[in-house]
Homo-oligomer: A and B are copies of this chain.
Amino acid sequence: MAQDKKLVEEITAMDEDFAKWYTDVVRKADLADYSSVKGCMIIRPYGYAIWENIQKELDRRFKETGHENVYMPLFIPETLLQKEKDHVEGFAPEVAWVTHGGSEELAEKLCIRPTSETLFCQHYANIIGSYRDLPKLYNQWANVVRWEKTTRPFLRTTEFLWQEGHTAHATKEQAEEETLRMLNVYADFCEDFLAIPVIKGKKTEKEKFAGATETYTIESLMHDGQALQSGTSHNFGDKFAKAFNIRYLDKENRHQYVYQTSWGVTTRLIGALIMVHGDDSGLVLPPRVAPTQLVIIPIASHKGGVMEKAEEIFNQLKPLVRVKLDDSDKNPGWKFSEHEMRGVPLRLEIGPKDIEEGHAVLVRRDSREKIFIDLNELTTKVPELLDDIQDALFTKALKHREEHTSIATSLDEIKESLDKKPGFIKTMWCGKRECEEKVKEVAKASSRCMPFDESSIGDKCAICNAKAEMVIVWGRAY
C-alpha cells in the first residue's frame, strides 16, 4: 500500500519550492526517513548503499595515502573537552550530555563526541614518544552528535555519520602538506566520483574550525544557487599539542611538540548529490556512486523468450556493471518512474520486438536520450555509456556553476546578485573582519572562502575600497 501510493503523488517542482522538492526526493527515492528523535534520521537501504560506495572509495584513497583506521570512544569527559580553550568554546554549546549510567548519576558528565580531537590528542600524548613514532596518520569512521536547532535530512542532522582524519607530524611543514594533501583527496573524490565540481579555498579567520590555525574547504554550488561546504581540512599547528602536551624526542634527543591536522566529510555529501544532479523526476546519480548503474526492464515479459533474454543480458552485464533485473509484477511504465525517481543512470528495455530486431533500448537518466544498441555490443557499449553519463553530469554541473558565478565591485552589487540570481560572487577583499561581517549582515552571505589559484580581479576591497590583494568568493550557505 505504502509502495503503491508513492508515485501517484508527484514530487514538488524544483522551481516551485526547492526545499520541498529536496525533502520529497529524500523520501520518495527511499533515501531516508524521519525518526522519533528530533533531528535524527533513519538512513534507508538505498541511501545507505550510496554512503557505502562513498565510504569504500574514500577509504581506498585514505589507505593509498598511508592512513590507518582506528576507533575512539563515543564519550568525552567534560574536563577533557575543556582542555583546548577555543575548541571547547566552539563546541560546548551544541553537545549532548550523558548524566546517568544505569540507575546512577555520573560523577563527571560525559559529552557525546561532536568531533574527536580531544580523544585523539590524549591518545597521541600516550603513544608518541620519539621521532620514530611520527607521523601518525589515523582516521575513523564514526557517528557524531551536534545539538542542532534546525535540521534537514543529510544536510544538517543532530546525529550524522562521517570520517574524521587526525594526524600528528614532526614539523609544521609536514602538517601543512598533509592538510592540503587531504583537501586535494576530497576535491578529486568529489569531482571524479560524485561528478561535483568544487572550489578549493581557505576559510576566513572568523570561519575557521574551533582550535585550528588554518581551515581549508571545498565548496560546491547546488542547483538553487546556494553553496554547500562539502569537506574541510584543518591545520592545528602546535596548539593542541601544547594543550595536551604531545611531545616527541627528536634525533638530537630534544623534546619537541608535534604538529597536527584533522579533516572530515559527512553524510551531507548525499545531500550534495541530490541538489547538484537531481531534477523534477527525482534523483540523478553519477554512475560511479550509483548502487544500481543499470536496470533491466523486460517489456511484455509474459511473451516467450523475453524473460530468458533479460536474464541472459543480466548475466552478461553482471561482471561489468552494477546491474539489476526488475522482474516484479508492476507494469513497465511504473517501473520507469520508480527507477527514474531513484536516479538509476541507465535503463535497458527489452521486449519481443527488440529481440526480433537484435537490439535493446537504452535510456539515459540524465538526458532521457533513447539509444538502440545491438545485443552483441552491450558489454562494450554499456560501460562506455556509463562513462559518458559520468562526464556529462560533471560538465553540466560545472556549466551551471559558471553561469551562476559573477564578479561584484560593491556591497550593493553583492547583495543584488545574491538576491536576484543566487550563486557564487567573487570580489576583492581587504581581509578585515568588519567588511566580512558587513557582507554577511547586508547581503546574507553566510558562505565565504578565499579560493586557490585565482588571479586578481581588481585592487580595491569591494566593501571598503581600501587596497586589497585577496580574492574572496561569497555565497549563501546550506
- By a beta-carbon cutoff of 8 Å, the part of chain A in contact with chain B is 1-4, 33, 35-37, 40-45, 48-49, 51-52, 68-77, 80, 93-103, 110, 112, 119, 122-123, 126-130, 132-133, 138, 142-143, 145, 147, 158-159, 161, 249
Contact = CB atoms under 8 A, between A and B. Distances in A.
Q: Quick one: which of A52, A70, A119 has the most chain B CB within 10 A?
A: A70
Contacts of A80: 36
Contact of A95 (B74, B102, B132): B102
A72 B37 contact: no
Contact of A45 (B35, B51, B68, B110): B68
Nearest to A104: B147
A158 B96 CA distance: 18
A128 B73 CA distance: 35
A36 B122 contact: yes
Contacts of A51: 71
A128 to B, nearest CB: 8
A48 B71 contact: yes
Contacts of A48: 68-71
6 contacts: A3-B133, A37-B76, A48-B70, A96-B102, A98-B112, A142-B143
Contact of A123 (B33, B94, B101): B33
B73 A1 contact: no
B130 A3 contact: yes
B2 A129 contact: yes
B73 A159 contact: yes
A359 B376 CA distance: 50
B33 A127 contact: yes
Contact of A119 (B35, B70, B75, B110): B35
A73 B37 contact: yes
B98 A102 contact: no
A110 B142 CA distance: 20
B100 A42 contact: no
Contacts of A119: 35, 42
A417 to B, nearest CB: 35
Q: Quick one: which of A74, A122, A147 has the most chain B CB within 10 A?
A: A74
A79 to B, nearest CB: 9
